[in-house]
Amino acid sequence: MIYTLNFYFRIALQNLIVHKARMILSLLGILFAVMSLVAFGNISSGMKMKIDNEISRFGKNLVILRSGLVFVTGRGTRQFSESKSLKLQDVKILKERLRDVEEVVPFYDTTYPARYGENTLKVSIMGATANIFTVRNIGLIMGRPFTDNDDLDVEKRAVVGFKVYDNLFKSDDPIGKNILIYRAPTEIIGVIEEKGVDFTGQDQDLQVYVPLNTFMRRYSNIDYIKGAYIQTRDGVNLSELKQRIRNLMRRIHNLKEGQKDDFSIFTLDDILRTREEGIRLVSILTIIASIVSFLIGGLGIFAIMLLSVSERKMEIGIRRVVGSKKKDIILQFLTESVIVALIGGIAGIIIGCIITLIVDYFGGFPFLLHGQNIFLSIFISVLVGLAAGVYPAMQGTKYEPIEVLH
């Protein structure tokens, strides 16, 4: 049996080499189908892993409260309308009255220029309480975070992102040195590890953190905040907690029935839902395109095999005369059609992996091979090859040796 299979395999390869141009055309449909299936499966897995990593870096079990209302621009980006109604006392009441809340981090964020010597950089500055470093999983590569005492004493101290350190200090030791943040001298006490851009589009390496009271009194002279990170206990239903926070905030702000909220509440899942829906939509379109490509590839193999059977009547007749049975003829042409489909499938896998490497490199995604899609592609390729080769193989058995040789 092994000898027989090797024999058919060798004949099939010889025929493919002789008619390589038509065979290449017939396998292109399979190639594109497998390529798209493998490439998007790998890329989407990498995208999902990157999102999971960003969530873990951003902080777990977080509900985000923002002053004002969220609206989506024509480009699909989220922006916030300005509101000055959210106070520090509001988030203190939330912490006291909601049992499932472990930590609350009030904050105010804006953009200021930062300067050291002749170097100037536009940074995103955030005033927050000292617990932001634990709630947001912010690690330091040098120095220390500011403390509650720094906040109470309104100290002008800052922890800076990696790019701020790298651009302003050029790898010199920044600890203890002062930078000018909006003309206010501020002591550097720590540098954050390199984190990159998070899923909200914020470059965390251009972030500068200062104590909240310092920011409110010495930098901006304000009595309101822009939002708060609310961290819950494990196992809490975030959707239910969002509703409880909303109800409590409406009571605190004395909003009557029919009045719009002057705040927004969302979770990380809310932010990521649009991305996941986009990935899901592209996945559906990819599957549809792959099915169409497989059908086109199957029809191409079917047409080429039918043409091949018609052109090889003499070969079939001679093989029948020397003792080949009908099942041998069927097996030969089925082997050829499966080999064509497998070559297209393997080529599609290789090209799909190359595309994955390129997209992951430029997109900053972790490289992952989605094994399920690879095995599925091979399996479907074999099925398509078998289905496309059955009818032409059966046609080959209809030629009688005497008629053909005559």
DSSP 243-274: HHHHHHHHHHTTPPTTPPPSEEEEEHHHHHHH
Structural domain range at position 6: 2-53+273-405
Whether residue 284 sits in one domain with residue 254: no
Number of Cβ atoms within 10 Å of the Cβ of 402: 10
Answer whether residue 265 shows pLDDT above 90: no
Average pLDDT, the chain: 81
Q: CA–CA separation, 342 vs 354, rounded Å?
A: 18
148 domain-assigned: yes
Torsion sign, CA atoms 6, 8, 13, 14: positive
pLDDT of residue 76: 46
Q: How many Cα atoms are found within 13 Å in the side-chain-facing hemisphere of 246?
A: 16
73 domain-assigned: no
115, β-bridge pairs? 120, 180
11 domain-assigned: yes
* Averaged pLDDT for residues 321-344: 77
pLDDT of residue 196: 74
DSSP H helices in 114-237? 132-135, 148-152, 162-169, 212-214
Domain end marker among 235, 261, 287:
261
Whether residue 231 sits in one domain with residue 119: yes
Answer whether residue 2 shows pLDDT above 60: no
Whether residue 256 sits in one domain with residue 129: yes
267 domain-assigned: no
pLDDT of residue 75: 47
Q: What's the CA dihedral at 381, 382, 388, 391 to 10 degrees?
A: -170
pLDDT of residue 278: 67
Q: Which of 66-75, 201-210, 373-382 has the lowest mean pLDDT?
A: 66-75
Domain end marker among 210, 231, 261:
261
* Averaged pLDDT for residues 110-130: 90
- What is the pLDDT confidence band of residue 211, given thresholds at 50, 70 and 90? very high
Answer whether residue 149 shows pLDDT above 90: yes
Task: Collapse the DSSP code of 371 into the 3-class scheme (helix H, G, I; strand E, B; otherwise coil) and give the result.
Answer: helix
- What is the pLDDT confidence band of residue 127, given thresholds at 50, 70 and 90? very high
Torsion sign, CA atoms 126, 130, 132, 137: positive
Answer whether residue 225 shows pLDDT above 80: yes
Q: Which of 124-133, 172-181, 201-210, 306-315 has the lowest mean pLDDT?
A: 306-315
Nearest residue to 191 (alpha-carbon basis) of 219, 169, 213: 169
Task: Collapse the DSSP code of 84 into the 3-class scheme (helix H, G, I; strand E, B; otherwise coil) and give the result.
Answer: coil
Whether the CB-CB separation of 188 and 158 falls below 8 Å is answered with yes
Nearest residue to 80 (alpha-carbon basis) of 209, 227, 181: 227
Answer whether residue 15 shows pLDDT above 90: no
Nearest residue to 277 (alpha-carbon basis) of 71, 54, 48: 48
Q: How many domains does the chain have?
A: 2
By percentage, how much of the chain surpasses pLDDT 70?
81
Q: What's the CA dihedral at 271, 274, 275, 277 to 10 degrees?
A: 140
Whether residue 236 sits in one domain with residue 280: no
Number of Cβ atoms within 10 Å of the Cβ of 156: 17
Whether the CB-CB separation of 169 and 116 falls below 8 Å is answered with yes
Q: How many Cα atoms are found within 13 Å in the side-chain-facing hemisphere of 135?
A: 22
Q: How many Cα atoms are found within 13 Å in the side-chain-facing hemisphere of 298?
A: 17
340 domain-assigned: yes
Answer whether residue 79 shows pLDDT above 60: no
Domain end marker among 229, 261, 293:
261
pLDDT of residue 324: 66
- What is the pLDDT confidence band of residue 210, given thresholds at 50, 70 and 90? very high
Whether residue 131 sits in one domain with residue 255: yes
More confident residue, 263 or 326: 263
The pair of three-digit structure tokens given for residue 203, joined into one six-digit string: 């470059």
The pair of three-digit structure tokens given for residue 113, joined into one six-digit string: 């220029």
- pTM for this one? 0.62
Tell me how many degrees the CA angle 306-312-318 measures, rounded to the nearest 5: 135
74 domain-assigned: no
pLDDT of residue 26: 74
* Averaged pLDDT for residues 244-254: 90
pLDDT of residue 1: 45
Whether residue 285 sits in one domain with residue 244: no
Q: CA–CA separation, 397 vs 312, rounded Å?
A: 12
Q: How far is CA 167 from CA 115, 170, 171, 185, in A?
A: 10, 6, 8, 18
Output phi, psi for 139, to 5 deg: -100, 150
Answer whether residue 212 shows pLDDT above 70: yes
Answer whether residue 74 shows pLDDT above 50: no
**DSSP assignment string, 19-43:** THHHHHHHHHHHHHHHHHHHHHHHH
pLDDT of residue 83: 74
Q: Do β-strands 140-143 and 184-192 pair in parallel, antiparallel, or remain unpaired? A: antiparallel
110 domain-assigned: yes
Whether residue 280 sits in one domain with residue 254: no
